[in-house]
Structure 1
Amino acid sequence: MNRLTLKLACLAAALIAASGTARAAEDWPEGAVTFITSGLPGSAPDLMARVFADRLGRRWNQSVVVENVPGAEGTLAVKAFMGADPGTALMLAPSGPSMVAPALRAELPYDPDVDLMPIAALTVDHVAFAVTPGLGAASLDELIAVARSRPGALNWSSAPGAPNLVFRELLRSSGIEMTHVPYKGVGPEMIADLASGVIQIALVPLAPARGLASEDKIRLIAVTNDARAPSFPDVPTVAEAGYPDLAMEGVLGAFGWRGITSERREQLARDFRAAADDPALRQRLEASGQTVRVTGPEGYATYLSNERRRWATAARTLGIAPATN
């Protein structure tokens, strides 16, 4: 074999290998896929996961099922995700287990830098301060005034993670006292208790609250996002209400398994982006209070890193020492 023939043979072999690698990347998934979410049925993470499962199941020509594993501020969902066979599941959930939990727990049953590999940020959830109508508070100023007149008498709750820290910052910065009532997650029980007055204030995503809010059975007084919610345009942002330090956005995203390749993460991000281009998907999520905003692995990882520093600082300001159990 002469030198030219040898070079051509090597080039052909390289092209075949590259083609095989590309096909292998595009062949995923080889079977059914599970989307594990920390949200209760009917919650924002649950709705987001189910809408993407429907679109991507068709794109992949595979069954995609959603598994709800709520509780323990997302830790139970992460443990379920880690227990799945690599390559058979993705975690679609709020970003809290990666960006807030490290500030609240001295030890975690997972490594957020290894076990939760960012694939894509998918949606931004509108998060709202909501009150029971009988409280007589139509704004954050009025809420604080009522709380000051009844120290310790009002009950509050929130979504776990960043919303919980935001509510505690409201208490700290305004010098008011309320009683925290924990729930397993933001679902029908919490929202029903808010409507009936068992709890008087909650900081929750719009998805589970929008129904009763539309019926005036609960009142939304401010959203923590940078912009007003399109579905409730009359509700001001916390910045507009004079409380910019309470601003936060509820970013929900997709995470891959330990050891997932960068090529697979990029491929999956492209798949999620393609699904998000569907106007019907956007319309359904926007009606629930979520805005579709897809980023790739690098952008999502940068966001999580920055937010982890922010919430670690917030926890220290609030005097919250990382729990040891």
Structure 2
Amino acid sequence: MALLAVVSMSMGAHAQNAWPTQTVRLVVSAPAGSSVDIVARLVADKLGGELGQTVIVDNKAGAGGTIATDAVVKARDGHTLLLAYNGPITVAPSLFSKLPYAPQRDLLPVILAVTQPNVLAVRTDLKVNSVGELVALAKSQPDKIDYASVGNGSLSHLAMELLKMKSGMSMLHIPFNGGPAAALALGRGDVKVLFAALSNVQPLLRDSKVRLLAVSNAKRSAVLPDLPTVAEQGYPEFDATTWNGFFVPASTPKTVVAQLNTAIEKILALPEVKQKLLVAGAEVAGGSPEQFATLIKNETAAWKGVIERAGIKPD
């Protein structure tokens, strides 16, 4: 009888501690159809089976991803996750003086899901074929060559500011509202240069309107294996990688974080998921929550330096 009581108590405790106990909501800091949304839906589709509960995707775009992030920070149901990109996590703390949350205090990293290549694209009528040639041209014409970004304070903007700092060149910044608008301006010839996600310039590549000079990642991307990095072309340690990662509110038990990390890592390792992500321009990353936390800490400090030195202010 005593043994039965112990077993019964153990089973009851297990049932009480089981997670999840209800539908899981995955909040996405980007609109439906975006590259971040593609990652979210590929993972959510299989995460429900791993967790034994329905996983719904909730897109909350706007304000550079801070609306979605703040919503998850404030969630109190214990069943809300966040899929975010760099902006609201490592850039926003230095860009906004009154951010309603502190990422490293209010969120727990679960897993770095994917990385995506930012590419340095120039119009084909700009007679440069490498980062070095672009730098030389810009130095010969200070502030005469304009470059587009997908928004003031975006990674697209910060990547070019970082290159300007490392190279000593000077270019004129023209911010646009999002990738499609910036790419349209580049295609029309309104601007000459754009640092942005590959997906933004792929139509221009097909029409032979742009030339790719480099990828911004620290190492070459599996999506563009033949395109050299900026670092390879004379600027060591240059890294402006776009990533997507999963987070939970800081109140989440560590056991739940570990459970989610294991489940999502398993999903990302599936060959069909890897292939679909690669087609979408994303490369599977993975790793532990601790590794992701270290990346966030280091990147936050790095972008703070760029933002302060360049004097970047939000619109």
Common fold: TM-score over 0.5: yes
1:262 — aligned with what?
Answer: 254
Q: Distance in 1 between matches of 2:160 and 2:60?
A: 26
CA RMSD of aligned residues (A): 2.9
Q: Distance in 1 between matches of 2:200 and 2:299?
A: 25
2:117 — aligned with what?
Answer: 126
1:179 — aligned with what?
Answer: 172
| C-alpha deviation, 1:161, in angstroms | 4.4
Q: Distance in 1 between matches of 2:136 and 2:196?
A: 21
> Is 1:139 aligned to residue 134 of structure 2?
no
The structure-2 alpha-carbon separation of the partners of 1:34 and 1:195, relative to structure 1 and needing over 3 Å to count, comes to farther
The structure-2 alpha-carbon separation of the partners of 1:203 and 1:77, relative to structure 1 and needing over 3 Å to count, comes to farther
Q: Distance in 2 between matches of 1:75 and 1:301?
A: 19
Report the count of equivalent residues.
312
Residues 222-241 of structure 1: CA distance to partner in whole angstroms, max 9, x if unpaired?
Answer: 01223322333331111211
The structure-2 alpha-carbon separation of the partners of 1:38 and 1:143, relative to structure 1 and needing over 3 Å to count, comes to farther
Q: Which amino acid aligns with 2:125?
A: G
Q: Distance in 1 between matches of 2:32 and 2:125?
A: 28
Q: Give percent identity, aligned residues only.
A: 30
**TM-score, with structure 2 as normaliser:** 0.85
Q: Distance in 2 between matches of 1:194 and 1:294?
A: 34
| C-alpha deviation, 1:253, in angstroms | 0.2
Q: Which amino acid aligns with 1:76?
A: I
- Would you say the 8 A contact 1:133–1:219 is kept in 2? yes
The structure-2 alpha-carbon separation of the partners of 1:320 and 1:314, relative to structure 1 and needing over 3 Å to count, comes to same
> Is 1:51 aligned to residue 42 of structure 2?
yes
TM alignment of 1:100-115, pairs within 5 A: 100-115=91-106
Q: Which moved more, 1:134-143 or 1:269-278?
A: 134-143
2:200 — aligned with what?
Answer: 208
- Would you say the 8 A contact 1:98–1:304 is kept in 2? yes
1:193 — aligned with what?
Answer: 185
2:11 — aligned with what?
Answer: 16
The structure-2 alpha-carbon separation of the partners of 1:218 and 1:52, relative to structure 1 and needing over 3 Å to count, comes to farther
> Is 1:242 aligned to residue 237 of structure 2?
no
Q: Which amino acid aligns with 2:142?
A: P
Q: Could you tell me which of 81, 88, 110 is aligned with 1:97? A: 88
- Would you say the 8 A contact 1:225–1:237 is kept in 2? yes
- Would you say the 8 A contact 2:25–2:57 is kept in 1? yes
Q: Distance in 2 between matches of 1:212 and 1:221?
A: 14
| C-alpha deviation, 1:121, in angstroms | 0.8
Residues 43-97 of structure 1: CA distance to partner in whole angstroms, max 9, x if unpaired?
Answer: 4323222222223245445252241503x33223323434656345322121332
Q: Distance in 1 between matches of 2:211 and 2:247?
A: 34
Q: Distance in 1 between matches of 2:264 and 2:304?
A: 30
Q: Could you tell me which of 292, 298, 301 is aligned with 1:306? A: 298
The structure-2 alpha-carbon separation of the partners of 1:90 and 1:207, relative to structure 1 and needing over 3 Å to count, comes to farther
**TM-score, with structure 1 as normaliser:** 0.83
